[in-house]
Structure 1
Amino acid sequence: MKYAEEVHKEILSKAKEAPENKTNTPPRNKPAPLSKKHHPEKVQEKETIPTQPLEEKEKGPALDHFHKKIELLIDRMERLDTSTTTLSSGKKSSGQLDLSTTKKLPSPQCVERKPIKVSDLDLSADVLPTDKKVTWESFNLKKEILMGLENKGFKWPSPVQAAAIPHSLGGQDIVARAKNGTGKAGAFIIPLLNKINRFRPQIQALILVPTRELVLQTVKVCKEIGLHLRLKMLPLYGGVSPKDDIIRLKEGGTHIIVGTPGRVLDFIEQKIISLKHCKYLICDEADKLLGTGFKEVLYSITEKLPPQRQIEMFSATFPCMVQDYVGKYMDDPVKINLMSELTLRGVKQYYAYVKKTDKLHCLKTLLSNLDVNQCFIFCNAITTVERLAKRIADLGFTTYFIHSKMKQEDRNMVFHNFSTKGQCKILVATDLVTRGIDVPSVNVVINFDLPRSTESYLHRIGRSGRFGTKGVAINMVTPEDAEKLREIEEELDVELIPFSQVLHPTAALPNP
């Protein structure tokens, strides 16, 4: 990982050298080609990005202003030369791409759907409506938890919390399916904290998650909501020395363990921890925990629990293998499915139809013209993540990158600086950070590479629009991706909005 460290140092040094620019508009004389096929002179000819940021037409919430910038770009698009080839002579009733002509397209700016209109965007509020009839007080929670919720700014339960918390407090097993960013973590953390007896210094609950980053995120939320309860929580995950964790466990008094399955099972087998008093098992991102590499481990951990236990499973997707686990270990679980009501409700989805070699210029245009609070940019390969982060830094944007091959301490540092300190606006990542990672200030997700599966797509765009707020997801779609785009739209029953003419490198952007 020496190379990754050197690249990160170079990125950070460039960020420090870059002049202060609140609009993050990159310098005009530094276009970065994506491959050797792009000769610098040719790239310079395509440069049409204005040097000054778009003017703010009216004041309002930050997200409203962000969407207004999109509207301005769309207005510009409508004034472009319309004599371009289209994917199809007319809009198909299914609203899908005409795949029969995809590979014959002479230009990536061609779309078959009408450009988005201002009336298509619901910008009436920054936060989506929830059922305000349900209050925290109606759950009879401990006053310490109510204080923690107030400190967090949680005014009322989200739909998944309103549905799950009563059953959890009642001791029932739960299988809950809901979109990322709808408050799934709170749906199991809040009732769990209410059930823990702080006067018993024993491991009473185990929360299993698939990644180290999600371990830290979950512990953080537990500590914030349970600030006044004085409970002891311990994160357990691989990739770091277990010595400190062993010392803390021997000191005793741990009430809740949040960990990855491998490290937890390792500690159980070494008799470092015992689950004989553990009455609560929670599996977050359950589909991942029951996937390849984790399934046998989860089964082994469950076998160590006492007969009288409560098991809760939460995820945005539930493949068929979950049913085997439910049938074997869970007792007539309550099934909660809010996907139909909540799927992608807060995230406006766009696609930019581009050639592979034009992706970087399209990305530059987006970052230069949109008011991004914070942004995730996803790639499918680790090598692409590192190269793209370096290119973005060359364009003048402060950027971090993160992937699974980095040292754990480096990953922790990057994620902490991005999510907590807000030291940069852009994080280039693989699917490592797609599950459960909660950064409320992220309002934009860009798929530089279209994900390989619909499940991955759902988790990626769920990084924006967290807990009912509005977000934007923009997908860069090449001719080779057209079939995958159609599959995603069909499986999720959505129709992405074309946003490509604005991003085409040869398209002039006249002053508004």
Structure 2
Amino acid sequence: MATAKMENVGAVVMGISKQNGQLRGLSSQSGPTIQSNPFARVSTGGQKPAADSQEGPGIRFGEDWKKSLQLPPKDKRVKTSDVTATKGNEFEDYCLKRELLMGIFEMGWEKPSPVQEESIPIALSGRDILARAKNGTGKSGAYLIPMLERIDLKKDYIQALVMVPTRELALQVSQISIQLSKHLGGVKVMATTGGTNLRDDIMRLDEIVHVVIATPGRILDLIKKGVAKVGKVQIMIMDEADKLLSQDFVVLIEDIISFLDKNRQILLYSATFPISVQKFMAKHLRKPYEINLMEELTLKGITQYYAYVTERQKVHCLNTLFSRLQINQSIIFCNSTQRVELLAKKITQLGYSCFYIHAKMMQEYRNRVFHDFRNGLCRNLVCTDLFTRGIDIQAVNVVINFDFPRNAETYLHRIGRSGRFGHLGLAINLITAEDRFNLKAIEDQLVTDIKPIPSSIDKSLYVAEFHSNNDEVEEHETQENP
């Protein structure tokens, strides 16, 4: 790859303490202003979520209830067929409560995506589901909408349990749940994860809770202490099910299920389903409805390149990418926590604003970095694979694998952090001599083409404003996938 001569970097402005993952430099990156994410506040497991103050909207019979909605600005960015190839259904077609529809539309969700079209009516019927769908195509809405529709406010116990593999994803899903249910008149949503104060969770569960969104270790601890009473749970949802059923979590998941009612409904959602999922399905699911929207594995809107470099050239190459790309927000992946911190320091010394996040950080710092990055306070985030699971930050349009991942599954989840909900994105891989065989193997497994990086990258491939209508996107897809 052609590299530009490094310019002299001015003094570096350091903000906050190093240990919280927020390193700030003089941001000299070009590009548009970072778009803030609509989910402004993230509740922690030990705090009362905003849902406690939910009140019904008081719409009278005969009024045009849609006129009262506070809709976000319309998203005019182009979308690929990953989310636009629908049957033409509307959310109103599913006979949902009006108050839930109000929450859906105020989220900016105009029409159901393909996975939502397939999932919502089946989940409402009470049937188990095994769903494969690409990252960033609306899986959260596919299970949260039917789950919230079935919550009975007259019952003061836990009715739904959502299992996720990471703390950040638990906070994100709980925030979406609170937003969707804000007009329902009192659905109580609680997030509980490791790394937070257990006593706060115990006090919260002493009050009414309808929905618990949790990581496996923490909820199992609360169940065994007799605090989280899950014997009447109607529906259990597993997001990123392949990770939850890996060796890290499967024993905990099996233990949790043993406390549930035998007639509960189970919904599994993931982009990849290894053998472990098949074994679990055969044991615990009853005639599940199978959804497979994975004819091809990689997202259509993501253009993938590689740059062949030595280890010593990586930082120089990254500096060149920063100077030439029009980055809204970027996520940069490393293969170890030590390399994450070292790279974040290097990026800051080059004069760019940078946060970092990894599993060995204190939870309060992880929460702060996650919250601030998704709200656009920093342009670049360096992280480990902790951040590959389900994290939805719409403003991210570039993913860089500073260290190339070891397997196809990890690669797929990493690049899926850009191009969210059918939007365009760019994935760039820094490849050393040791990585070249792994690169070929991943290309073969995913049936995708990772091309050598050109000297100049067409901005229309990853910058939203370079397209004005869907016809241009369809033309782009035809060129990329003849």
For normalisation by structure 2, the TM-score amounts to 0.79
Aligned partner of 2:4 in structure 1 is none
State the shift of 1:341 in Å: 5.2
Quickly say closer, same or farther: Cα 1:271–1:424, change in 2 above 3 A.
Answer: same
State the shift of 1:150 in Å: 1.1
Aligned partner of 1:477 in structure 2 is 431
Is 1:247 aligned with 2:258? no
| Cα deviations by residue, 1:255-284 (Å, 9 ceiling, x for unpaired) | 000001111111111101111210100011
| Cα deviations by residue, 1:199-244 (Å, 9 ceiling, x for unpaired) | 2111000000011111101101111111111210111111122111
1:23 maps to a residue whose letter is S
**Secondary structure of 1:340's partner?**
coil
Cα contact 2:191–2:212 (8 A) shared by 1: yes
Aligned partner of 1:382 in structure 2 is 337
2:329 maps to a residue whose letter is Q
2:173 maps to a residue whose letter is T
Q: 1:393 aligned to 343, 348, 353, which one?
A: 348
Cα contact 1:351–1:500 (8 A) shared by 2: no
Aligned partner of 1:218 in structure 2 is 173
Aligned partner of 1:361 in structure 2 is 316
State the shift of 1:373 in Å: 0.8
Q: 1:303 aligned to 251, 258, 268, which one?
A: 258
**Secondary structure of 2:295's partner?**
helix
Q: 1:340 aligned to 275, 295, 309, which one?
A: 295
2:203 maps to a residue whose letter is I
Aligned partner of 2:192 in structure 1 is 236
Cα RMSD (Å) of the superposition? 2.1
Distance 1:166 1:304 in 2: 27
State the shift of 1:467 in Å: 1.0
Distance 1:10 1:490 in 2: 36
Is 1:144 aligned with 2:99? yes
Aligned partner of 1:202 in structure 2 is 157
Q: Which moved more, 1:303-312 or 1:132-141?
A: 132-141
Quickly say closer, same or farther: Cα 1:281–1:395, change in 2 above 3 A.
Answer: same
Cα contact 1:178–1:343 (8 A) shared by 2: no
| Cα deviations by residue, 1:278-316 (Å, 9 ceiling, x for unpaired) | 010001111111111211110111111112110000111
Distance 1:291 1:11 in 2: 31
Is 1:442 aligned with 2:396? yes
Distance 1:143 1:235 in 2: 25
State the shift of 1:360 in Å: 0.9
Same amino acid, percent of matched pairs? 47
Aligned partner of 1:489 in structure 2 is 443
Q: 1:287 aligned to 206, 229, 242, which one?
A: 242
Aligned partner of 1:154 in structure 2 is 109
Quickly say closer, same or farther: Cα 1:296–1:11, change in 2 above 3 A.
Answer: closer
Runs of at least 4 residues off by over 4 Å: 8-11, 500-503
Distance 1:220 1:342 in 2: 28
Cα contact 2:20–2:365 (8 A) shared by 1: no
Cα contact 2:357–2:383 (8 A) shared by 1: yes
Quickly say closer, same or farther: Cα 1:200–1:409, change in 2 above 3 A.
Answer: same
**Secondary structure of 1:190's partner?**
helix
State the shift of 1:126 in Å: 2.3
Cα contact 1:181–1:462 (8 A) shared by 2: yes
**Secondary structure of 2:161's partner?**
strand
Q: 1:271 aligned to 216, 226, 237, which one?
A: 226
Distance 1:174 1:209 in 2: 16
Aligned partner of 1:180 in structure 2 is 135
Distance 1:133 1:197 in 2: 30
| Cα deviations by residue, 1:162-213 (Å, 9 ceiling, x for unpaired) | 1111110111100001111111111101111111112211100000001111
**Secondary structure of 2:117's partner?**
helix
Quickly say closer, same or farther: Cα 1:232–1:125, change in 2 above 3 A.
Answer: closer
State the shift of 1:335 in Å: 0.8
Aligned partner of 1:419 in structure 2 is 374
Distance 1:453 1:470 in 2: 24
Is 1:409 aligned with 2:370? no
Q: 2:80 aligned to 124, 128, 138, which one?
A: 128
Distance 1:22 1:500 in 2: 20
For normalisation by structure 1, the TM-score amounts to 0.75
State the shift of 1:435 in Å: 0.2
Cα contact 1:180–1:436 (8 A) shared by 2: yes
Q: 2:420 aligned to 447, 451, 466, which one?
A: 466
State the shift of 1:125 in Å: 6.4
**Secondary structure of 1:186's partner?**
helix
Aligned partner of 2:63 in structure 1 is none
Cα contact 2:21–2:357 (8 A) shared by 1: no
Distance 2:268 2:280 in 1: 10
1:402 maps to a residue whose letter is I
Distance 2:343 2:399 in 1: 15
Distance 1:364 1:345 in 2: 27
**Secondary structure of 1:281's partner?**
strand
Q: 1:7 aligned to 18, 32, 37, which one?
A: 18
Cα contact 1:7–1:386 (8 A) shared by 2: no
Distance 2:138 2:21 in 1: 37
Q: Unaligned stretches of 5+ in structure 2?
A: 1-15, 36-75, 458-482
Quickly say closer, same or farther: Cα 1:497–1:125, change in 2 above 3 A.
Answer: farther
Cα contact 2:28–2:352 (8 A) shared by 1: no
Quickly say closer, same or farther: Cα 1:381–1:278, change in 2 above 3 A.
Answer: same
Cα contact 2:22–2:356 (8 A) shared by 1: no
State the shift of 1:417 in Å: 0.5
Distance 2:400 2:447 in 1: 20
Distance 1:294 1:164 in 2: 25
State the shift of 1:23 in Å: 2.2
| Cα deviations by residue, 1:409-439 (Å, 9 ceiling, x for unpaired) | 000001101012x110100000001001110
Q: Unaligned stretches of 5+ in structure 1?
A: 25-55, 57-61, 63-123, 504-512
